[in-house]
Amino acid sequence: MLRGMLSLSTTSPHGKARPDPTARAPADPLEPLARQFRDLRSSRDGLSAREAARRLEVYGPNELARRGGRRWPGELARQFTHPLALLLMLAAVLAWVSGTPELGIAIAAVILLNAGFAFAQEMQAEQAVEALAAFLPERALVLRDGDRCEIEARLLVPGDVLLIEEGNASARTRG
């Protein structure tokens, strides 16, 4: 079906309509969706169960990576091994050796402050991710083989067609 390809607003001397060269064809609202299906190698019927299983194997489960256990000592120590921190440590040592220990102490203080702020920021980001994880739905409604299926949200893969209704919490896929 050809919709809105040409605008027929002028007529020829023979009374026939001819295309207006200045008129633009209206945008097809389905084109971006078709492009998404093409790029994700999916269709309006969703993925086949076999293809979804293959993609789950390739991409892994759709879940947030969580860190467990006590990791903060290592994270804090890592702040001191960044290239800038190492360069500043070298500058502090050189300042001390060259006879200006006050400058060396000031540079060391900058290193400590930088490490402390960076560490605190990383800890806050991890806490934010954990808090957001509580809002993710556990199940999702998708099209697989053309049928509506309710699956665990962690089994979503790139190319799945999510069915969302008003009031539903939405599961997100990574990819």
Q: What is the pTM of this model?
A: 0.49
> Which token pair is 135?
């809002």
pLDDT given for residue 66 in this prediction: 67
pLDDT tens digits for 41-78?
888 888 888 999 999 999 988 887 766 656 778 888 88
